[in-house]
Structure 1
Amino acid sequence: MWDLIWSICCSSIIFVVFKLFDTYGVDTFRAIIVNYFTALGVGLLVYQQPVFLQELPQKPWFAGALLLGSFFILIFNLMALTSQRMGVSVASVATKMSLVIPVVAGIALYKEQISPVQATGITLALAAVYFTSMKSGGRGIRKELRALILPALVFLGSGVIDTSIKYLQHTRIPQVEYPLFSALVFGFAGTTGILLLFFKKPKGATRFNGVTILGGIALGVPNFFSIYFLLRALQFEGLNSASIFTLNNVAIVMLTTLAGIVFFKEKLSLKNWMGIFLAVISILLISLF
């Protein structure tokens, strides 16, 4: 369970760092690129074994890491935009409501069994995520179609990423290679980001200032460990993947919402507190039963 707790903490830090990017004027796209190469370096340090480049394409998970890495850079930028334009809690909610996708996949693909009590907990978790996201004015995520585009894309993308991680963990990746797999995912993401940067703005592609580099490093360390510890948590025999993803996501929503209050003076309404209460109940139902 400690692996799950550490993954939750690291994922929550990511949303806070995104918000700080906006506060300190960090170039988000370049910082995300630095973040990925930072995560690559951290992963290679954690792996602590020699890496032979010519052998990597033979790994059964190599193609999956390549595709995930290319997808990561897109979703991460959408998460950053959502966090900055609509608030930390909305970005967190859009990401974590996507737990529905891997939960359904776990039941359909891996024949995972969910007890009635756990199903109730998952339902309460979804309600908790919604209520926790609602702004103090009571509107929550704005209902205009244009305002829903960013959260909807983050929702779908995050669900696909979580489902893919579970599939690769379940079918392709030996536990000893978790750090190497995570490192290569981030390495491919960083490489994709560099290519996109030169494609979009070739004249300004080398403008990485000190603030951007520091921001990228601050993001990269928790980003690596959020994936690494999630992979380890999915090995836990006491809970199936549906329960793991639900606990992970609803706890992140709670922490990021509270972080928004403490660090960014975001206000909580009665519905927000109701969401936090439901989140606690859902965690108890899923983890204890």
Structure 2
Amino acid sequence: MDNHFVSTDWLADRLGDPDLVIVDGSWHMPGSVRDPHAEYLESHLPGAVFFDIDAIADKDTDLPHMLPAPAAFAGAVGELGIADTMTIVVYDQFGMATAPRVWWTFKVMGAPNVLLLEGGSPKWRAEGRPTESGPVQREPQWFEVRLDPDRVTDFGTVLARSRDREAQILDARPAARFNAEVPEPRPGLRGGRIPGSINVPASLLTEAGAMRSPDELRQLFAERRIDLSRPIITTCGSGITASALALALEVAGAKDVSVYDGSWTEWGANPDAPIA
């Protein structure tokens, strides 16, 4: 078993394990007509609980789904029946799109054993494996947070690093948004990119709903002259695909990766933030 992923076979063999919890981390872009919670209630992996990315978030900011305070996170996931001592397996409805954000959130909060389901829900369903509908009520648990602040970066740090020619800031948005060729999906945001940032669209990180191999990812980053031995900051629109990019960097062997949580939603709305 990789230290990031588990297979559908591995998970199928452990359904019902009291020390394992399955988490549906599906989320949809703003303006989408789809409701991830409604889709979860309609059909989900057996015993899975729903992690609401927009709800388990900082309520004291206008920015979307920013990291919650540690106590708020602990309370929310404890109510879902998740303890820090459990093996946590996260999946989403796309394969490997939004589950990495949930994985990253648990990692920031110190979960020692959080993994992603290779291929996610699409692979599970394609193999004819069981699903169920309706809510799942687990026994409440205690989640002890051990915050890892090195995994998250704020506006001030990114602003300072953007002025450093040696900084590595990677943007996971599609190229058309990175180059301001199309408007941002959130109204009121300027188009463009953080000066000096490098575009690594999240769509390049996966194939058929699964993360590409470590060798393929290393090649992808090498083509963009990214040094995996040096610190890297990832960003995107609102911290979702930046988390997938952080995961891909870790899989490729990077050791010092942090996510700019506010991402372009914060940067593009701030008149003091320089834009290329």
TM-score, length of structure 2 as denominator length? 0.29
Task: Specify which structure has the higher proportion of strand.
Answer: 2
Structure with greater contact order relative to length (CA < 8 Å, sep ≥ 6):
1
TM-score, length of structure 1 as denominator length? 0.28
Task: Specify which structure has the higher proportion of helix.
Answer: 1
